[in-house]
Amino acid sequence: MVFRLLTLALVFISLISACSSKPYNYDTAINNGNIVNLHGNIKNGERLEVFYQNYKSKTKDKIRITQFTIEGDPIIYDFDFDGIDIKLRYDNSKDKHGTSNIRSTACKELIKTATKAGNDYTLKGCYGKDIDLGNDFRFEVST
């Protein structure tokens, strides 16, 4: 009797936890307004230009860039501009095939450079624990 109750409880807990964990996939990211990069196919890229214009005018803003691995796992970059600095948070904890790593840094500048294909966005003047995260960041949006 105790064994049956314990088994039933475990099944119930498993069902509840399975139902509550929603996958963060391509469609979810797009519907959430993320700037999405799926193997070079960019969706909502115009949102990065809006963020850039807000940065230039010192208007607070937040964006999320979600890039997907070959296996379809999300790598998330959260940008939070407070009117002075851009705080960048990198999260690959949903990547089933990599080592979970959450890192962050802050940067003074967001640089936009026109290219033949569109605009290239990079960060400069980064500081904090994970400076390389900001200094190595590059995102191109085709026009």
pTM confidence score: 0.82
Backbone φ and ψ of 128, nearest 5°: 110, -170
Give tens-digit pLDDT for 75-86: 999 999 999 999
Q: How sure is the predictor about 118, in pLDDT bands with cuts at 50, 70 and 90? A: very high
Q: Which domain holds residue 50?
A: 34-142
Give tens-digit pLDDT for 50-76: 999 999 999 999 999 999 999 999 999
Q: Has residue 2 been placed in a domain? A: no
Q: Annotate 104-126 with DSSP letters as a single string.
A: EEEEEEEEEEE-SSEEEEEEEEE
Q: Has residue 20 been placed in a domain? A: no
Asked if 128 and 104 touch (Cβ cutoff 8 Å), the reply is: yes
Q: Has residue 104 been placed in a domain? A: yes
Q: Has residue 77 been placed in a domain? A: yes
Q: Has residue 15 been placed in a domain? A: no
Overall number of domains in the chain: 1
Q: Is the pLDDT assigned to residue 101 strictly greater than 70?
A: yes
Burial 91-121 (b: 16+ CB within 10 A, else e): bbebbeeeeeeeebbbbeebeeeeeeeebeb
* pLDDT score for 10: 47
Does the CA dihedral 118-69-55-130 come out positive or negative? negative
